[in-house]
Chain A
Amino acid sequence: MSIVQLTRRQLLVAGTALTMALGAPAFAQTPPGVLVVGQIAEPKALDPAAVTAVNDFRILMNVYDGLVRYKDGTLEVEPALATEWSISEDGTEYTFTLRDGVTFHDGSAFDAEAVKFNFDRMLDENHPFYDTGPFPLSFFFSAIDKVEAVDPKTVKFVLKEPYAPFLSNLAYPTGLIVSPASVEKHGSDFGRNPSGTGPFKFAEWRPNEAVVVEANPDYWDGAPKLQAVVFRPITDASTRTAEMLAGGIDLMVEVPPVALSQFQGETYTLHEQAGPHLWFLILNAKEGPFADKLVRQAANYAINKEAIVNEVLEGTAEVAAGPTPPAFAWAYNENLTPYAYDPDKARELIAEAGADGAELTFYVTEGGSGMLDPVAMGTAIQADLEAVGFDVKIETYEWNTFLGEVNPGLEGKADMAEMAWMTNDPDTLPFLALRSEAFPDKGGFNSGYYSNPEVDALLEKARRATDQEERADLYKQMQEIVHEDAPWVFVANWKQNAVTSDRVEDFQLQPSFFLLLDDVAKN
């Protein structure tokens, strides 16, 4: 009759429902043979040509193969869908022999025409399926003049000019090979109906819940041990941590530094792997105090990088020595040592340059791809620079706005800016951000206007060299000069991390930051 009685009844119903829910202890356990991965965001598409985010690459690398791939634990290429290749004397013709008997998940055959289709789709505006884009990273292959299917098992790439990073770019997700038959069938919906040749086949995409892939028993490199992988997007880092602790996921990527202590002990394994990442400060070498090399070096000495990586980043990064991350083992100059933390030396250099008490405008971002903890790092850097006599004014911007300010160049606006890059070839970052030809008004990323003809020449030459040892030698020389000229403050190389539960076996992070699951098992 009255509301109170009604609620009592409702209370009873609710109570019963609650007890039923409590009786079902199903929430903790994920099934054996099925790996549940906690991802950081909903993927955009499962079309390798159309996406740019590492988050999406983590799925793609398990569904597709490229012509070549990175050798386990390195950033050196090895055969994948191509079994061997030859490079012409002048470095403009790459001829690949394709693997026999490989089929796409949709049953169609993998052959030279399929390879040609993939690159024409991205690069040729008149290709019938060019409209399945846009293809934001197609410029990775802008050196290609044409692709020829010589015979079903041979494909030839003709380049406009010699371009040494070409092989490495083929190993990048943008170079993964998709099934032409499926693109023809699904058109611009291919990104939600993907088909490749990889160890896992696409099974299901439940928007904002999960992407499910299943084992491909016919995989040319051996069937995977897992039956299926579920990629769950969990954007909030604290919630991702809680899911890991509650057993709702088996593998978690990008563990926030503050949460690392939760995963000590037997139940979890913490994986760490330094990758091709560099976090640095761009210094404005065109005007203001940093136009003087001594002041740029002083900034490198003044900043306590050890404290930044160990305290601000809780050990999730290593101190960087120069412009090339050590993950590029073959091209990294081992003789380089990081600028020591030496405030006295910094003061000396500043006095010598007459830059005492200089005012600096410092662009800081709130967050962004690869930027780690930019506000806390910026504040620590500000304190270190003020300790040696600079007057540092921080201006903070949201990431997209920040890129809009920094990429067109710092001239007339700022003396320094935070920046981070993740690349797949030692050529990319210095070529795009340190050459005189890469000033912002010429379409490059040299926002600090560093210019050294010697560096320019070394980088041009390295790009044309086809011999890896020769290239390595040129990059090593470049690193020494850049280290000395200090156009940037070299701060940190990020170590990617992941946590697995004790049910997961044989998992390893890769220096490429890709997530490869074909050898992983779960009990």
Chain B
Amino acid sequence: MGGYIARRLLSAVPVLLGITVIVFLIMALIPGDPATAILGSYATPENVARINRELGLDEPLWRQYLIWLGNMLQGDFGQSFALNRPVLDEVVERFGATLILAGTAFVLCALLGVIAGTISAANQYGFADKAITFAVLLGISIPSFFLGMMMILLFAVRLRWFPVSGMWPIYGARDAAALFSHLAMPALALAVVATGVIARLSRSALLEVLRQDFIRTARAKGVHERSVIWRHALRAAMVSILPVLGIQAGFVLSGAVYIEIVFQWPGIGRMLVDAILRRDILLVQGGVIVVAACYVFFNIVVDVAQSLLDPRIRT
């Protein structure tokens, strides 16, 4: 097992290195540069050259890349042009906020999705199945940013149950209740689509398992039906549900971009969008590297979890 994990971790190194090259080249090759973004209307060639010189962007590309990579390996991600603070501080802070949002949304959608899918499968073609299928289709079809906007209008502007945006109150204690009130709407809006997808796939995974012989055996020897579904069948179905959860975790993380903008959540998705528009090269690069590393890590975790459930995968 340890060898398997080590092999998987080692294989992540070239992937991450490749990502550094790609993200560096993308930022270098897209038109427009930070100096133009900083100077706006005042971007004369003379002023642009001056700013580029001061930012170290007049070096040849390969040198810029090697300097950046070398510094990064030593833990120095550089300074953001647009925010005038260390890239790593900003990325860590923003990524923490995203993890709180996406993590809550993921727990929500995994729990609700698997439960809904299981209930659906256990009552195939029954009323519960139809009701859940309808709700799920509705959830999958509503774009999350639109849902978010509607939730704001109803629950924040009209009913004033929740604050419109942000992560913490401007005044007052920064406690769990304050975080919860700010987190509730964005987490829910973010979870809806993934819940639908997970519910659909859990349903079909479970239906497949329910047709197998060991289920018939379990029922035949008199195991309680609730126990058949939730303990025997669901456990077997988890092998095919887990990779879906892994993919959805990635989906929730990327879907967080829209939600973070609508709810002004100070997360990394919103940070990246702003950084790209301002051509804040180092911030974009640092942010993408951190997110990419997380994706790679998630994948490894899912693979390992899967191999624990099904030892045949461990080769």
Contacts and interface: CB of A to CB of B under 8 A. Distances in A.
B254 interface: no
Nearest to A405: B31
Contacts of B230: 2-4
A412 interface: no
B160 interface: yes
Range class of the A interface residue count: 35 or more
A182 to B, nearest CB: 16
Nearest to A369: B40
Contact of A17 (B51, B153, B168, B180): B180
Given A21-B180, A242-B152, A403 B43 contact: yes
B243 interface: no
Interface in B3-42: 30-33, 36-42
A96 to B, nearest CB: 26
A338 B3 CA distance: 78
Contacts of B82: 44
Contact of A21 (B153, B170, B177): B177
B294 interface: no
Contacts of A246: 156-157, 160, 163-164
A2 B165 CA distance: 37
Interface stretch (B124-132, B263-271, B295-303): B263-271
B68 interface: no
Contacts of A444: 44
B166 A27 contact: no
Given A207-B85, A239-B152, A134 B157 contact: no
A24 B156 contact: no
A239 B165 contact: yes
A440 B48 CA distance: 13
Interface string B50-62: 1100110000000
Contact of B161 (A21, A50, A134): A21
Interface string A1-27: 011100100000000011011101111
A141 to B, nearest CB: 13
Interface stretch (A62-70, A230-238, A511-519): A230-238
B67 to A, nearest CB: 18
Contacts of B111: 7
Contacts of B30: 401
Contacts of A136: 38-39, 42, 47, 51
Given A136-B51, A407-B43, A248 B164 contact: yes
A209 B32 contact: no
A487 to B, nearest CB: 17
Interface in B40-95: 40-47, 50-51, 54-55, 82-85, 90, 93-94
Interface string A223-258: 000000010111110110011011110000000000
B56 to A, nearest CB: 11
A3 B230 CA distance: 7
A376 B169 CA distance: 37
Interface in A409-461: 420-422, 440, 443-445
B2 interface: no
Contacts of A234: 165, 264
Nearest to A444: B44
Contacts of A443: 44-46
Nearest to B30: A401
Given A44-B84, A236-B262, A31 B42 contact: no
A236 B36 contact: no
B149 interface: yes
Contact of B36 (A17, A134, A209, A404): A404
A22 B181 CA distance: 9
Contacts of B149: 238
Nearest to B48: A407
A27 B157 contact: no
B261 interface: yes
Nearest to B35: A136
A111 B308 CA distance: 73
Given A52-B39, A246-B163, A400-B36, A209 B153 contact: no
B310 interface: no
Contacts of B164: 239, 242-243, 246, 248
A42 interface: yes
B45 to A, nearest CB: 6
Q: Which among B31, B84, B169 has the greatest number of chain A C-beta atoms within 10 A?
A: B84
Nearest to A54: B40
A139 B160 CA distance: 49
A401 B31 contact: yes
Contacts of A245: 157
A439 B281 CA distance: 30
A106 interface: no
A36 interface: yes
Contacts of A422: 41
A476 B277 CA distance: 39
Contacts of B226: 2, 4
Interface of B: 30-33, 36-47, 50-51, 54-55, 82-85, 90, 93-94, 111, 115, 149, 152-153, 156-157, 160-172, 177, 180-181, 184, 226-227, 230-231, 261-264, 266, 270-271, 274, 277, 279
25 contacts: A2-B227, A4-B230, A25-B160, A42-B83, A44-B83, A45-B84, A52-B39, A136-B39, A208-B93, A232-B170, A238-B262, A239-B165, A242-B152, A242-B157, A242-B165, A246-B157, A246-B160, A248-B164, A368-B40, A370-B41, A400-B32, A403-B43, A422-B41, A443-B44, A445-B41
- Return the 3 tightest CB-CB contacts between A and B, nearest first: A400-B32, A208-B266, A401-B31
Given A21-B184, A239-B264, A404-B32, 13 more contacts: A2-B226, A3-B115, A4-B226, A17-B180, A27-B156, A210-B170, A232-B166, A235-B274, A236-B262, A246-B156, A369-B41, A400-B32, A404-B31
